[in-house]
Chains A and B, each alone.
Chain A
Amino acid sequence: MSQATQDSVREDGVIASVSGPVVTARGLDARMNDVVYVGDEGLMGEVIEIEGDLTTIQVYEETSGVGPGEPVESTGEPLTVDLGPGMMDAIYDGVQRPLDVLESKMDSAFLDRGVDAPGIDLDEKWEFEPTVSEGDEVAPGDVVGSVPETVTIEHKVMVPPDFEGGEVVAVEEGEFSVTETVVELDNGEEITMHQEWPVRQARPAAEKKTPREPLVSGQRILDGLFPIAKGGTAAIPGPFGSGKTVTQHQLAKWADADIVVYVGCGERGNEMTEVIEDFPELDDPKTGNPLMARTCLIANTSNMPVAARESCIYTGITIAEYYRDMGYDVALMADSTSRWAEAMREISSRLEEMPGEEGYPAYLAARLSEFYERAGYFTTVNGEEGSVSVIGAVSPPGGDFSEPVTQNTLRIVKTFWALDADLAERRHFPAINWNESYSLYQEQLDPWFVENVEDDWADERQWAVDVLDEENELQEIVQLVGKDALPEDQQLTLEIARYLREAYLQQNAFHPTDTYCSPEKTYGILTAIHTFNDEAFKALEAGVPVEEIQAIEAAPRLNRIGVQEDWEAYIEDLKAEITEQLRELY
């Protein structure tokens, strides 16, 4: 919450009752969703229900020891985030309090209560370079200058969307803090580098367009088979241990977005620490700068207060939209949206609302679709193009995809990466099931791949899909009669499919080279397997027994393409050798 609003504190009320994170207050003059400070310690909360004189508040902090009679103050403002330079390389809790600042303010490794801190440092000086001069007309959303926020990101200072705009009468240049005025307009509006925006309200944009560019992830199965567009939405459901978090981390590391907002919603503390420790050491494959220079982390671990878990998703998407307005491609990872839905359920049940399916509130579907609708490829208010892609992990209880959160999510998102416990169990990673997953962006993205990678991108993909489909059918027979009972050509198809699975679909996230695979390399691996396929079937037709084909020395080397630094030469060499060794057999 912003500090700027604290002096506008209005009427006081008193606590009437306390039950976990839900507190009711009497005599409070507050509007729906206003932020309030609860109790002697001033715990932050939000109004979620008003009934006569009784106001119900969800409190973002632990309420042990808080009792009736203690004061409640309203700020008269909804939950907002502070927007401005300093958000990159930051790590926040669910209500945008910087965790590093909290650590020093509380002087403890444990999270204390009643400590507030603004989302961006209000005193830090930034080098402001104006792009407008006196006499220019500016409208809401227009860029008036820029600030080098990190080595990678040029932070654009914009006229806030709720301003009227007008003629510029004064412009400053040089070092300023975010609260100092840098541009003044003729109607008296003063523009600073700091904006506030209510998290539950989408920031305005001019137009939502059809996405036509892929968000290249460097993960073969995603780019190759189930791509997501810039501005698209994807869901990753999977039971525990199937690799949701690793997949999300991989995307956060390698996706070719300008900005990454990573929301750890109700997940493990150690996982967030891994991100905090790893990301500053990793390089952005696009710019070579540290990954953190383009990343904003929001960490609300599972043991942090449940109400802040409910809000962290909104905090994240609002920050994402702000950078989108600057014309950047932003990717937001939410891990996990199920925890967010559960937070809603928990609060809803404390309010004794009538539950919908499996105890979730009846508005679950509405909230989910509202959230995913904030993604998209936009023309921004100032005419730039920017996008927000949303990738949400889903943790279905017992791995059962028929539960409400998964089902309601699938109705909205266009890319579905189904994680599979069986694959994970046999250490096939990423454990994305190729039979169940889909991407509805495939066709609208194919032109991009054709233009930027290779003409027959779509055909090669179709070939791979066909082989995998056939394998799926053959496996059923194999389960009954054994592999050796199949005709030779089908045995060979199984062998080809095996290489597709092992060399193409599997990818080692922990191998320094294999962790990122460019679309060109993805395509290259596929053609290598295709070459083996074509040559092997020729050999089979010429009467070579399938055992001999399988036994050629070069074939297992297909599995090692992924880890090759110099893959182009390796593939060329391998194709030649496979061809030679197979032709020697007849």
Chain B
Amino acid sequence: MKEYQTITEISGPLVFAEVDEPIGYDEIVEIETPQGETKRGQVLESSEGLVAIQVFEGTTGIDRNASVRFLGETLKMPVTEDLLGRVLDGSGQPIDGGPEIVPDERRDIVGAAINPYSREYPEEFIQTGVSAIDGMNTLVRGQKLPIFSASGLPHNNLALQIARQATVPEDEDSGEESEFAVVFGAMGITQEEANEFMEDFERTGALERSVVFTNLADDPAVERTVTPRLALTTAEYLAFDKDYHVLVILTDMTNYCEALREIGAAREEVPGRRGYPGYMYTDLAQLYERAGRIEGREGSVTQIPILTMPGDDDTHPIPDLTGYITEGQIYIDRDLNSQGIRPPINPLPSLSRLMDDGIGEGLTREDHADVSDQMYAAYAEGEDLRDLVNIVGREALSERDNKYLDFAERFEAEFVNQGFDTDRSIEDTLDIGWDLLSMLPKSELNRIDEELIEDYYEEDAESVEAEA
């Protein structure tokens, strides 16, 4: 392996070096500073005689005398089943003081695209135990469903609740509930947040079936572009080679995108919207699309990326591009949060695109689709009326309108609100749904099949006054 001491330029996270042999695009580089410190990087652009290198650990300490070694291969993740229970840093080195990792295989972290022809359509219901998700925005195995949150909201608690409670209801043949292996990729989160996650994992015993990658807020930003790829490469290995059902939690995607922007700016690229690189859609897709199921393989990769929307604005490029790639989104709502609703999920803008095929008779319950549709419609109507109440007051509204207002109140207080420690079965969730819908007269339930109304509608509930 040849060593070069030919660095010509150092700029932000980038190092330019002259070379006299061809270097492959994306190849891994080791840079040794005169102080003896070794930093890793990746080739961003390779032309005859000159390469641009992006250094993961930051360029501090590198000078023109530093030596550059090209390893002749692209970045790889050592994968093995023994990774379960381990804690690694953002570039894949163990930091839990455990034994060295003996890999079964070393996998390219970029990961090839799954052939759409080889995919299997996701339609197995995952019970998260959270009514607002299970009932209204059902998650299925192999889906990618992000949490759209913002600063100061309890998205981490929700992610932990899902990681803790997620099960696929009993398989009829084996009679077992299958649990998930959790791959957790943290990008630029604070030490405190990381501790919160780790403590919860340890307390609940989830750590045993988890692989944790942590790039903290004070770790080099460029490393963040690698962390999710390491996590997903591990997840794919566990799912498609070792038959695990893997739940990947990535937090916080906003920090990841900031790192992309930083590299783009250092390379003096033409920026797209708000300074983010024009290829951000492709780049994010290469992460998010690594969820799914493959025909003939047991395992699956389900992704829950978390992002914080700058200024609560969902038209910002990060949530916007994410929403176009992922199969729906769960919104955490500031108003609901301040009302004390836990988890503060707002079902109206939330969506699960794969819900329709994952619910119904034989999967969840025959009435699931209709109940969920009707509750959406009713809650949306109630929400609309709230604006009106502010102007004309409740007395000025008709009896029908008042019922919808009551419905909206109870929907938030009883259906969405359940606390971070309650695990509700899908039957419980739907029964609460009927309980609420029965406040409305039968004739208003225009989205529910007449037969289902006969079976489930609670006649006497109509007269029960709302607590609100």
Listed in ascending order, the chain A residues whose CB lies under 8 Å from chain B are 15-20, 24, 62-70, 91, 99-100, 102-103, 106, 108-113, 239-241, 264, 266, 268-274, 276-277, 299, 301-304, 306, 339, 342, 345-346, 349, 352, 355, 358-359, 395, 397-400, 421, 424-427, 478-485, 502, 510, 556, 559
Contacts and interface: CB of A to CB of B under 8 A. Distances in A.
Contacts of A272: 116, 119
Nearest to A353: B270
Contacts of A339: 281
Contact of A70 (B22, B270, B388, B447): B22
A64 B24 contact: yes
Contact of A65 (B26, B271, B290, B316): B26
Nearest to A480: B391
9 contacts: A67-B23, A109-B118, A110-B114, A110-B115, A270-B119, A299-B116, A303-B113, A303-B290, A398-B320
Nearest to B290: A303
Contacts of A70: 22
Interface of B: 21-27, 44-48, 73-74, 108, 110-122, 142-143, 240, 269-273, 278-279, 281-282, 285-286, 288-290, 292, 294-297, 314-317, 320-321, 323-325, 327-329, 348-349, 351, 353-354, 356-357, 369, 373, 376-377, 380-381, 387-388, 391-392, 396-398, 401, 443, 446-447
Contact of A427 (B22, B26, B380): B380
Contacts of B25: 18-20, 63-67
Given A68-B23, A481-B392, A111 B446 contact: no
Contacts of B317: 397
B418 to A, nearest CB: 23
Nearest to A106: B115
Contacts of A99: 115-117
Given A346-B279, A352-B270, A268 B325 contact: yes
- Name which of A62, A64, A103 has the most chain B CB atoms within 10 A of its CB: A64
A510 to B, nearest CB: 6
Contacts of A112: 112
Contacts of B443: 556
B281 A342 contact: yes
A276 B324 CA distance: 21
Given A67-B23, A358-B273, A482-B396, A110 B328 contact: no
Nearest to A550: B400
Contact of A111 (B22, B112, B354): B112
Contacts of B286: 303
A467 B45 CA distance: 61
A109 B114 contact: yes
Contacts of B273: 358-359, 397
A17 B45 contact: yes
A20 B116 contact: no
A109 B48 CA distance: 35
A349 B278 contact: yes
B411 to A, nearest CB: 14
A70 B116 CA distance: 30
A397 B398 contact: no
Given A109-B295, A274-B121, A359 B271 contact: yes
A485 B44 CA distance: 67
B447 to A, nearest CB: 8
Contact of A398 (B119, B315, B349, B396): B315
Nearest to A553: B443
Nearest to A69: B22
Given A64-B74, A484-B396, A397 B320 contact: yes
B285 A302 contact: yes
A65 B351 CA distance: 39
Given A302-B281, A303-B286, A479-B388, A484 B398 contact: yes
Contacts of A69: 21-22, 48
Contacts of B272: 345, 349, 358-359
Nearest to A297: B116
A355 B112 contact: no
Contacts of A91: 116-117
Nearest to B47: A17
A490 to B, nearest CB: 15
B110 A103 contact: no
A478 to B, nearest CB: 8
Contact of B289 (A102, A268, A345, A502): A268
A16 B47 contact: yes
Q: Which 3 residue pairs across A and B have the least CB separation, nearest first?
A: A398-B315, A17-B47, A302-B285
Given A19-B25, A110-B114, A112-B112, A67 B46 contact: yes
Given A68-B48, A346-B278, A395 B324 contact: yes
B323 A240 contact: yes
A270 B380 contact: no
Contacts of A424: 351
Nearest to B109: A64
Most chain A beta-carbon neighbours within 10 Å: one of B111, B323, B387: B323
Contacts of B120: 273
B108 A64 contact: yes
Contact of A17 (B48, B282, B316, B377): B48
B110 A64 contact: yes
Contact of A302 (B74, B289, B297, B377): B289
A87 to B, nearest CB: 16
Given A17-B45, A481-B392, A276 B27 contact: no
A277 B117 CA distance: 9
Given A65-B26, A67-B22, 18 more contacts: A17-B47, A19-B46, A20-B25, A65-B24, A66-B24, A67-B24, A241-B353, A270-B119, A270-B142, A273-B120, A274-B357, A301-B289, A342-B281, A349-B269, A358-B273, A395-B324, A482-B396, A510-B356
A424 to B, nearest CB: 8
B53 to A, nearest CB: 13
B240 A425 contact: no
A254 B68 CA distance: 61
B25 to A, nearest CB: 4
B282 A306 contact: yes
A91 B119 CA distance: 13
Contacts of B74: 64-65
A273 B121 contact: yes
Contacts of B392: 481-482
Given A109-B295, A269-B292, A302-B281, A65 B27 contact: yes
A425 B325 CA distance: 19
A109 to B, nearest CB: 4
A551 to B, nearest CB: 9
Contacts of B316: 398
Contacts of A481: 392
Contacts of A19: 25, 44-46
A335 B136 CA distance: 26
A247 B92 CA distance: 43
B240 A269 contact: no
A162 B145 CA distance: 50
A108 B296 CA distance: 11
B118 A103 contact: yes
